[in-house]
Structure 1
Amino acid sequence: MKIVGYELFLVEPRWLFLRLDTDEGVSGWGEPIVEGRAATTARGVEEAMEYLVGQDASRIEDHWQVLTKAGFYRGGPVLGSVTAGIDQALWDIAGHALGVPVHQLLGGPVRDRVRVYGWVHGSEPAELADAARAQVERGLTAVKMNPSELLAPLDTPAAVQRVVDRVAAVRDAVGPQVDVAIDCHGRFSTAMSRRVLPLLEPLLPLFVEEPVLPEHTRDLDAVVRSTTIPVATGERLFSRWDFRAAFEAGIAVAQPDVSHAGGISETRRIAAMAEVHDVLLAPHCPLGPIALAASLQVDFATPNFLIQEQSLGIGYGDDSADVGGLLGYLVDPAPFTFVDGSIARPTAPGLGIEVDEAAVRRAAERGHAWRTPLWRHADGSLAAW
């Protein structure tokens, strides 16, 4: 079965979809995207296709090796995401060709349900509390939040108290039966993390994510030693080699993104490497339906899986392709139905979803030009978003 063509679709709110076609009429879908750099990623896919068109679609691992290592310059978000989207599509093709879900090709399922969490947003504690209650009413048993907006590298006692108040409001709103995860988003310096995280320990967060920027991964051990809160990171790490320092620092939760970290193939390997270090897997996925479907396939086949991120409720259109929503790009949204905070194991072949190509094409006619917000401190210097 030969790869004979492909098509890219730039779709709202900030995603890029790939359809990969074969000479036997079997197609697969992937989501190669660096948020804010969609056009750059698309060009990378086009360059990769100079090699892939005409190749055997079943040689997934060999293609992964070529795409990641044959170009001399290796690694990074763009090359990782180009490979990721292609890898997802190749696994989708393999599953459809054999009539089985991808998790069956990864060794079979190790669970029947995958727990998911949803985002809560708000500037004030009361807003966050209301948003958290709404997610619980939606059927979720875990939520994630940003504890702050812009922070100085060493901020004031008042800023520290605002962080504590925001997390406390969400904890009070959902009670002890619902998990609350905290995403620092790289906005905290190492020193601020060591100052703030011990104050949050009585609230028992599920984990604290990206308490330092990825370039400071080697400093994570200082944060890990400073708190009893499990430390998570990985959305801006793009290979098992990138994760090595994080594992050695003592993180508790690895968060590779199946659309950034080399796709299903590499995410699966990162998960296995995490298991060696007694680290759990919680894939990053504030993305579209293809990325979520690919993540779920890994989750169902991974023994050390913890919980899955998903973008319903993240703050941009949820259910309509007309507003760039996750569910609106599917023929049938049933595979993403929440029951008791979990998604049931998909049994359909490939990634387990049917992409609504007509909706995708309509959205691609509009396209998008989403860019990462630019934040600055009070003194005019650049701040982490």
Structure 2
Amino acid sequence: MSSISRLQHTDRGLDIVKFELFEIPPRWLFLKLTTANGTVGWGEPVIEGRAATVKAAIEELSVYFLGHSAHHIEDLWQMLYRGGFYRGGPILMSAISGIDQALWDIKAKALGVPVYELLGGAVRNKMRVYGWIGGDKPSRVADAALARISDGYTAVKMNASPETEWLETTKKVDEVIERVARVREAIGDKADIAVDFHGRVHKGMAKILIRELEPYKLLFIEEAVLPENNEVLKNLGAMGSTPLATGERMYSRWDFKPLFESGVIDVAQPDLSHAGGISEVKRIASMAEAYDVALAPHCPLGPIAFAACLQIDFCSVNALIQESSMGIHYNNALEMTEYLLNPEAFKTENGYVKLLERPGLGIEIDEDKVRKMAAEGHQWKNPVWRNEDGSITEW
């Protein structure tokens, strides 16, 4: 007999009665929730490389959301989070994220409005986005940047560094700087450049690179160090004027709290599929605003996650810019818009995506395509990198 108590309500039409999970290429997991009256909501709960683990977590958590009403999103979020003695972390929070996204999709569809209308309404008519150009081991980064500009972007992001030792040679430092210099020379001041250290650069190297990159006037430097070393960001910030961004491997407002309180970051990057979904990221966005920190949600993922990010961006005054996975190297030529019946929703013009106006998350999933590709599935794992001496290094 279940020990789960539920908030009482009279309208049973939005009770969740069914869930389905789809592992689809290139590396995503989709969740479909269906209510008693047939309303459908979609979420994207996934940790890249651990899709099967998150899938198992949702199956285990289903006892909480089956029979629960999508009217009571906050109640369910609190039950999923606080109902377990052990909480937080990438797997559980990613599972909660996808469930939360799907619930907001359902409730907003039932009310006939976009999600952002239920979160206070839009504060902008369009949202600036940026595209990836790789850079781990680049051969033609300048050409890639120019292609992004042609695609309608006004900002690009790149890694710039391959395998990195705790301290590196002058040659490798020069190679990193050269990659960024090539991109800046190619695009001039027509677009912004962000550089993602990806947590693969250790403190000693970060100090060098931040100073060396100063002349290129970067939009921000992302994950200058691993999140478990965030305490050094204050010192790194003093190395130059480039804004520091981080947050993709932080999973709740409690993870972000010490960063905001210490004033070490300029841009918060929670991931809508990892940091508790729409409900929690809206709270993180408000916390960031209170500490004069910009918001730039992390999203190298699929169309549901991207749509969820945009819903937050449209109603958050401190939203700076939004990551898009269109054309990202992980996708292997399978774009996120291929899973949509309305791909035009994500059209990028002059660096912006227009306000999404359809009810719910603003997208229509091509369920036939999802089911077809789920039969193929995926076994995506991130690369395991080693230094020249054979030692494991950060990817």
TM-score greater than 0.5 by the shorter chain: yes
| Aligned residue number for residue 359 of structure 1 | 369
Residues 28-107 of structure 1 aligned to structure 2 (within 5 Å): 28-107=41-120
- The answer to whether residue 302 in structure 2 is matched with residue 292 in structure 1 is no
Match of 2:353 among 334, 343, 346: 343
Deviates most, 9-18 or 373-382: 373-382
SS at match of 1:226: coil
Matches of 1:272 and 1:4, distance apart in 2: 33
Describe the shift of the 1:361–1:125 C-alpha distance in structure 2 as closer, same or farther (beyond 3 A): closer
- The answer to whether residue 343 in structure 2 is matched with residue 333 in structure 1 is yes
| Aligned residue number for residue 310 of structure 1 | 324
| Aligned residue number for residue 229 of structure 1 | 242
Match of 1:254 among 246, 253, 268: 268
Match of 2:146 among 128, 133, 154: 133
Once the two structures are superposed, residues 92-127 of structure 1 have per-residue CA deviations (whole angstroms, 9 ceiling, x without a partner) of 001100000000000000000000000002466660
| Aligned residue number for residue 252 of structure 2 | 239
Once the two structures are superposed, residues 182-216 of structure 1 have per-residue CA deviations (whole angstroms, 9 ceiling, x without a partner) of 00000111111111111111100000000000111
Describe the shift of the 1:35–1:125 C-alpha distance in structure 2 as closer, same or farther (beyond 3 A): closer
Letter in 1 for 2:389: D
Residues 132-281 of structure 1 aligned to structure 2 (within 5 Å): 132-247=145-260, 248-281=262-295
Matches of 2:386 and 2:154, distance apart in 1: 35
Once the two structures are superposed, residues 151-201 of structure 1 have per-residue CA deviations (whole angstroms, 9 ceiling, x without a partner) of 111101111111111111111111112000000000111111111111111
Matches of 2:92 and 2:147, distance apart in 1: 38
Matches of 1:309 and 1:274, distance apart in 2: 18
Are the aligned partners of 1:224 and 1:249 in contact in 2 as well (CA < 8 Å)? no
SS at match of 1:143: strand
- TM-fit CA distance, 1:70: 1.1
Letter in 2 for 1:263: G
Are the aligned partners of 1:124 and 1:166 in contact in 2 as well (CA < 8 Å)? no
Describe the shift of the 1:172–1:182 C-alpha distance in structure 2 as closer, same or farther (beyond 3 A): same
| Aligned residue number for residue 368 of structure 1 | 378
- TM-fit CA distance, 1:381: 1.5
- The answer to whether residue 40 in structure 2 is matched with residue 27 in structure 1 is yes
Aligned length: 381
SS at match of 1:363: helix
Q: TM-score, normalised by structure 1?
A: 0.97
Q: Identity percentage over the alignment?
A: 53
Matches of 1:57 and 1:122, distance apart in 2: 42
Once the two structures are superposed, residues 18-70 of structure 1 have per-residue CA deviations (whole angstroms, 9 ceiling, x without a partner) of 00010011010000000000000000011111111111121100111111111
Matches of 1:365 and 1:121, distance apart in 2: 29
Q: Which runs of 5+ in 2 are unaligned?
A: 1-13
Matches of 1:52 and 1:123, distance apart in 2: 41
Matches of 1:183 and 1:122, distance apart in 2: 9
SS at match of 2:30: strand
Q: TM-score, normalised by structure 2?
A: 0.95
Matches of 2:390 and 2:155, distance apart in 1: 37
Letter in 2 for 1:342: Y
- TM-fit CA distance, 1:382: 1.1
SS at match of 2:304: helix
Are the aligned partners of 2:45 and 2:98 in contact in 1 as well (CA < 8 Å)? yes
Residues 110-125 of structure 1 aligned to structure 2 (within 5 Å): 110-122=123-135
Matches of 1:231 and 1:90, distance apart in 2: 33
Matches of 2:247 and 2:85, distance apart in 1: 24
| Aligned residue number for residue 3 of structure 2 | none
Matches of 2:73 and 2:154, distance apart in 1: 36
Matches of 1:77 and 1:242, distance apart in 2: 12
Residues 315-326 of structure 1 aligned to structure 2 (within 5 Å): 315-317=329-331, 324-326=334-336
Matches of 1:35 and 1:69, distance apart in 2: 25
SS at match of 2:129: strand
Matches of 1:99 and 1:124, distance apart in 2: 47
Two-structure CA RMSD over aligned residues (Å): 1.2
Are the aligned partners of 1:257 and 1:283 in contact in 2 as well (CA < 8 Å)? yes
Letter in 1 for 2:182: A
